[in-house]
Amino acid sequence: MTTIANRKGEIMLERAEDASQFWAYDFSYSKDADLTLLDNVQFIYELSLAELELRAFGADYEVTNGLREFKLNNKSNELNEKIIKKSSYLKSVGKNFTDYFQIIQKNRTRSVNQYLTHWVYPYKGKFHPQMIRALLNIIGLKEGDTVFEPFSGSGTTALEAQLLGINFIGIDISPLCVLQGKVKTNSVYAIDEITKSKNVLISKIKPSLFNQEQDFYKVLEGIKDNNTRDFYALTRLLAVSDESRRGRSFEQSFIKNLNLMIDSVKDYKEITETLHLKLGNVNLKEGDSRNTELPDNSIDGIITSPPYSIALDYIENDAHSLEDMGYKLNEIREDFIGVRGKGRERVELYNNDMKKSYSEMYRILKPNKYAVIVIGNATYQGQEVKTVEFTVDYMTGLGFKLERNILKLIFGLYNVMKKENILIFRKVK
């Protein structure tokens, strides 16, 4: 008998086969290609970003072999080295694998994007890490520069900047987001302490771990190292989320994820050593993008995606974890952008809040530097809210010039089309 579930599987397979027609290509790679794209590159906007990245590195290139390879016209050891260390969409340069290709092999999940510690909390609306790495390069950020993210969310940019040796400053109004970003980036410095604490911690909290919530946080207070404490707090919240969203057993989720998280942090440490990466500093804290408290003209670049989906309620989404951390949802809701008010008022409040945030971005960015905003139009109560136009108009009025507007079209599950814009602004006035 064909069940609906079976039929869904069949439909998805058919669609997956169709998908190859989006970008059909011959799998036989040339033996002597200068640069080869990674297999996971499948959308045209990704090819555009790959090209912009090569231009930022100073490469003079031609796209060849079904758009899967590049020929370099200005070869040099220096250029090769730069592409190997930094590029985001390439698998190899001549016979050498890129750093990025080696980094993404360190993946404990089934999702290609969730390598290293990117996966450690199921946050809705995560950036695509590969795209962020490319954008960091495209706007010309280098080792030692500082990138700022006013809505740092799950910490995707924090981790990608860290990997490229770029210093990161980030704020988010949600304490849960800040915790995620910290665990993703700081645990690599605390892996010995984390591993040492594991058995002691489990023996102390068992058997009450899985019933009496208060005990867990009390036991955590006994851990001196901040990074280790954060790590175990997030492990608990991951299990809280698994239990409430997916109905999984808290206990099983806790133990399974704890081991996986430890392995992911070890992977991170190992790849840092193998590739001799000099990690950037990460400075993440709770804060409000409308008032960042950062000095004027102090930042080398901004990459962010604001809460454009005024229909997506970030507080509701993470309600279980925020409550477990001891927060009163109604109290923290006040400062979240995009979730206050109803109907037309909600859009007005959103626009006013975003104006303040964009003005802050303008104030703290150094002249001639870039701010990248990834944003799409939201649908709220059946109507399209033109967030993209609003952003372009307001930013331009502030003294930014829109240098590029890259349309990011992607097809999600069941071929639902998602449209976002990658807006690259430069502070010109």
Q: Can you give the binding site for ligand SAM, defined by CB under 6 A? A: 123, 125-127, 150-151, 153-154, 156, 171-174, 177, 288-290, 305, 307, 314, 335-337
- What do you get for the CA distance between the two ends of the chain, in Å? 67
Residue 265, Cβ density class (10 Å: 0-12 exposed, 13-18 middle, ≥19 buried): buried
Name the residue nearer to ligand SAM (CB basis): 123 or 400.
Answer: 123
Instruction: State in angstroms the smallest separation of the CB of 103 from ligand SAM.
Output: 17
Stated as kind and residue range, the H or E segment containing 265 is helix 250-274
* 37 SS3 class: strand
Pairwise CA distance, residues 90 & 37, whole Å: 4
Amino acid identity, residue 407? L
Instruction: State in angstroms the smallest separation of the CB of 216 from ligand SAM.
Output: 24
Instruction: State in angstroms the smallest separation of the CB of 321 from ligand SAM.
Output: 12
Instruction: State in angstroms the smallest separation of the CB of 309 from ligand SAM.
Output: 7
Closest C-alpha among 103, 105, 95 to residue 133: 103
Instruction: State in angstroms the smallest separation of the CB of 392 from ligand SAM.
Output: 18
Q: Which residue is nearest to ligand SAM (CB)?
A: 153
Instruction: State in angstroms the smallest separation of the CB of 241 from ligand SAM.
Output: 15
Instruction: State in angstroms the smallest separation of the CB of 197 from ligand SAM.
Output: 27
Name the residue nearer to ligand SAM (CB basis): 333 or 404.
Answer: 333
Beta strands in 267-364 (DSSP E): 282-286, 299-304
Cα torsion 353, 356, 361, 363 to 10°: value is -170
Strands 35-37 and 90-93: antiparallel
Name the residue nearer to ligand SAM (CB basis): 68 or 126.
Answer: 126
Name the residue nearer to ligand SAM (CB basis): 36 or 88.
Answer: 88
Amino acid identity, residue 5? A
The separation between CA 234 and the C-alpha centre of its own chain, rounded to angstroms, equals 17
Instruction: State in angstroms the smallest separation of the CB of 312 from ligand SAM.
Output: 8
Tokens 């397979």 -> residue: 13
Distances in Å between the Cα of 371 and the Cα atoms of 156, 162, 299 are 16, 18, 10
Bridge partners of residue 424, in order along the sequence: 372, 404
Name the residue nearer to ligand SAM (CB basis): 273 or 331.
Answer: 331
Instruction: State in angstroms the smallest separation of the CB of 162 from ligand SAM.
Output: 14
Pairwise CA distance, residues 41 & 298, whole Å: 35
Instruction: State in angstroms the smallest separation of the CB of 127 from ligand SAM.
Output: 3
Name the residue nearer to ligand SAM (CB basis): 107 or 113.
Answer: 113
Name the residue nearer to ligand SAM (CB basis): 160 or 243.
Answer: 160
Strands 383-385 and 282-286: unpaired
Instruction: State in angstroms the smallest separation of the CB of 75 from ligand SAM.
Output: 36
* 213 SS3 class: helix
Q: Which two tokens stand for residue 154?
A: 């799950």
Residue 250, Cβ density class (10 Å: 0-12 exposed, 13-18 middle, ≥19 buried): middle
Amino acid identity, residue 216? F
Name the residue nearer to ligand SAM (CB basis): 93 or 179.
Answer: 179
Tokens 């109604």 -> residue: 330
Name the residue nearer to ligand SAM (CB basis): 159 or 220.
Answer: 159
Amino acid identity, residue 280? G
* 294 SS3 class: coil
Pairwise CA distance, residues 93 & 59, whole Å: 12
Name the residue nearer to ligand SAM (CB basis): 326 or 367.
Answer: 326
Name the residue nearer to ligand SAM (CB basis): 126 or 236.
Answer: 126
